[in-house]
C-alpha cells in the first residue's frame, strides 16, 4: 500500500469510529491506534480537557509500559508537552524529546525521540485536547504525516463533539420518558385510584343509609375502575422492562407483550405469523412501536375482549394487521388524543416507505393495517 493510500485508509477508519456505539474512551483508543499505525509511530497518547477550563486528563495511550502510563496520568498542568500544546493551541514538533525540558519522566530514558503534538479543536475552534505521537530514534515526521495527523486531530474533535451531543440527546430522551411516565401515572393510574376513593366513600354512605341497591352499583364501579387501573399498571410495567426484540425477534416480542399485558387483562389475544419475519433491526423496532401503540390504544379505549394480530411477509411487501372487537369509533369524530396517536402511527409507517390504514365503526371494532415494501426487508 502506498503512503497516500495508507493515509486515506487511516482517515476513513477514524471517521468510521465516530459512528460506532462505544464509550468515548474506547473511541479515543481506536483513533489513537489508527493514527500511530498510519505514520509508523511507536507510542502515543490523547489528552482531553474533561471540563471547561479544567485540567486535562489522559484518555488513551499506546506503546508504553504500565509504569510509564501511571506517570502520564499525573502530568503537571503547567509544565508538559500536552499542556504547552493546549495553552498555545499550536502544533509542536520536537526532534528529540529526551533533550526537551517539557518531556515527562514517563518518556525520559526510553528509546522514544521524535515527537509531534497537535491540538484537538471542536467545531467552534476551542481546544478540547491534544494528540501526541512518538517515534523511536531521530526519525522526524515529514510534512505529509503532519498534514495527516492534523486531519486526524480535527476528526477526533468532531467525534468528541458528536459524542457530547449524543449524550445530551440521551439525557433529553430520558427526561422526556420520565415526564411521559409521570403524565401516564397521573392521567391513568392516579386518576383511577382517586376515583376508587370517591366510590368507596359514596359506597360507605349508601350502606350506612341502607341503600343496598345503589351500594351494589358503586361496588361494581369500584371493581371496574380497579381492573382498569390494573391494566394501566401492567402496561406501564411492560413498557419499563428491557425489550426482548433483539433477542427473540418481532413475532416473539409481540407474543410476549400479548401474554404479559393483554392476556392478564382478560383479553383473548393472539399473534399469527406463518413464517419468521426477516427484517433489519431498525425496521423491527419501528414496527414494534407501531404495533405496541395500536395495542395500547385498544387497551385504553376499546373495551375489547379479543385481539388478533396477523403478520405476513411476501416477496414484495410486509403486511401487519391489528384487529379488535371493541366499541370502535367513527374516524371523523375521534377526540384529539386518539387522533394525534393515529397521526403519529401514520408518520412512522411513512418513514418506512409504507402506509397505515384504519377501519373502524361504532360497535364494530377496529382494524389497523400496516404495509411496507419489501425493499426494507432482508431476503
Query: How far apart are alpha carbons 14 and 27 in whole angstroms?
Result: 9
For the chain, give the mean pLDDT.
Answer: 81
Q: Environment class of residue 65 by beta-carbon count within 10 Å: exposed (0-12), middle (13-18) or buried (19+)?
A: exposed
CA–CA gap between residue 144 and residue 5 (Å, rounded): 12
Q: What is the mean pLDDT of the segment spanning 33-58?
A: 81
3-state secondary structure of 143: helix
CA distances (Å), origin 78, targets 55, 84, 101, 120: 10, 7, 12, 18
**In which residue ranges of the chain is CATH 3.30.565.10 found?**
247-379
Backbone angles phi, psi at 41, to 5 degrees: -90, 155
Please name the fold of domain 3-167.
Beta-Lactamase (3.30.450)
Give the span between the Cα atoms of 41 and 378, in whole angstroms.
43
Contact (CB, 8 A) for 118 and 131: yes
Q: Which of 319, 362, 358 is nearest to 339 (CA)?
A: 358
Q: Mean pLDDT: which of 35-39, 46-50, 269-273 is highest? A: 269-273
Average pLDDT for 260-289: 85
Please give the C-alpha separations between residue 238 and each of 85, 227, 256, 259, in angstroms, as whole numbers: 52, 17, 10, 10
**pLDDT band at residue 355 using 50, 70 and 90 as cut-offs:** very high
Q: What is the pLDDT of residue 195?
A: 79
All cell numbers assigned to 56: 486535562
Question: Could you report the per-residue pLDDT of 279-303, keeping only the tens digit for each?
Answer: 887 788 889 889 988 998 898 888 9
The H helix count followed by the E strand count for the chain is: 10, 10
Helix axes 3-17, 143-184, angle to 10 degrees: 10
Over residues 115-136, the pLDDT tens digits come to 999 999 888 888 888 999 999 8
Q: What is the pLDDT of residues 79-113, one digit of tens each?
A: 788 888 888 888 999 988 888 888 888 888 788 98
Q: What angle do CA 86, 92, 93 make, to 5 degrees?
A: 160
**Which residues of the chain are in CATH 3.30.450.40 domains?**
3-167
Return the CATH architecture of domain 247-379: 2-Layer Sandwich (3.30)
> At 376, is the secondary structure helix, strand, or coil?
helix
| Alpha-helical runs (H) found in the chain | 3-17, 24-38, 66-72, 81-88, 143-184, 191-208, 212-240, 245-257, 281-301, 336-351
Q: What is the total residue count of the chain?
A: 379
β-pairing, 56-62 vs 43-49, is: antiparallel
Which band of pLDDT confidence, cut at 50, 70 and 90, is reported for residue 379?
A: very low
Angle (CA) 279 282 284, round 5°: 50
pLDDT band for position 209 (cuts 50, 70, 90): confident
In tens, the pLDDT along 157-196 reads: 888 888 777 777 767 766 776 776 667 666 667 777 777 7
Amino acid at each position: 500500500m502506498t503512503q497516500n493510500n495508507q493515509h486515506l485508509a487511516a482517515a476513513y477508519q477514524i471517521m468510521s469510529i465516530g459512528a460506532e456505539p462505544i464509550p468515548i474512551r474506547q473511541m479515543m483508543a481506536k483513533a489513537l491506534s489508527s493514527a500511530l499505525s498510519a505514520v509508523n509511530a511507536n507510542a502515543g497518547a490523547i489528552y482531553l480537557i474533561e471540563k471547561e477550563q479544567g485540567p486535562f486528563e489522559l484518555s488513551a495511550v499506546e506503546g508504553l509500559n504500565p509504569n510509564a502510563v501511571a506517570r502520564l496520568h499525573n502530568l503537571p498542568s503547567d509544565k508538559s508537552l500536552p499542556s504547552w500544546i493546549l495553552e498555545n493551541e499550536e502544533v509542536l514538533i520536537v526532534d528529540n524529546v529526551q533533550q526537551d525540558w517539557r518531556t515527562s519522566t514517563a518518556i525520559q530514558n526510553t528509546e522514544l525521540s521524535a515527537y509531534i503534538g497537535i491540538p484537538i479543536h471542536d467545531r467552534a475552534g476551542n481546544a478540547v485536547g491534544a494528540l501526541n505521537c512518538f517515534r523511536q530514534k531521530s526519525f522526524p515526521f515529514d510534512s505529509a504525516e503532519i498534514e495527516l495527523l492534523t486531519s486526524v486531530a480535527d476528526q477526533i474533535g468532531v467525534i468528541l463533539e458528536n459524542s457530547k451531543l449524543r449524550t445530551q440527546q440521551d439525557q433529553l430522551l430520558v427526561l422526556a420518558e420520565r415526564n411521559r411516565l409521570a403524565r401516564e401515572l397521573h392521567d391513568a393510574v392516579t386518576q383511577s385510584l382517586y376515583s376508587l376513593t370517591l366510590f368507596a366513600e359514596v359506597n360507605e354512605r349508601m350502606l350506612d343509609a341502607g341503600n343496598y341497591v345503589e351500594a351494589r352499583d358503586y361496588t361494581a364501579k369500584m371493581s371496574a375502575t380497579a381492573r382498569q387501573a390494573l391494566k394501566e399498571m401492567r402496561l406501564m410495567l411492560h413498557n419499563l422492562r428491557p425489550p426482548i426484540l433483539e433477542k427473540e425477534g418481532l413475532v416473539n416480542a409481540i407474543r410476549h407483550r400479548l401474554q404479559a399485558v393483554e392476556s392478564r387483562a382478560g383479553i383473548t389475544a393472539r399473534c399469527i405469523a406463518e413464517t419468521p419475519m426477516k427484517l433489519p433491526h431498525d425496521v423491527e423496532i419501528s414496527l414494534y412501536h407501531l404495533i405496541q401503540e395500536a395495542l395500547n390504544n385498544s387497551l385504553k379505549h376499546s373495551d375489547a375482549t379479543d385481539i388478533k394480530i396477523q403478520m405476513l411477509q411476501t416477496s414484495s411487501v410486509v403486511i401487519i394487521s391489528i384487529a379488535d372487537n371493541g366499541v370502535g369509533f367513527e374516524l371523523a369524530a375521534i377526540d384529539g388524543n386518539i387522533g394525534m396517536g393515529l397521526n403519529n402511527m401514520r408518520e412512522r409507517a411513512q418513514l418506512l416507505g409504507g402506509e397505515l390504514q384504519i377501519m373502524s365503526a361504532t360497535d364494530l371494532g377496529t382494524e389497523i393495517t400496516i404495509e411496507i415494501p419489501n425493499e426494507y426487508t432482508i431476503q
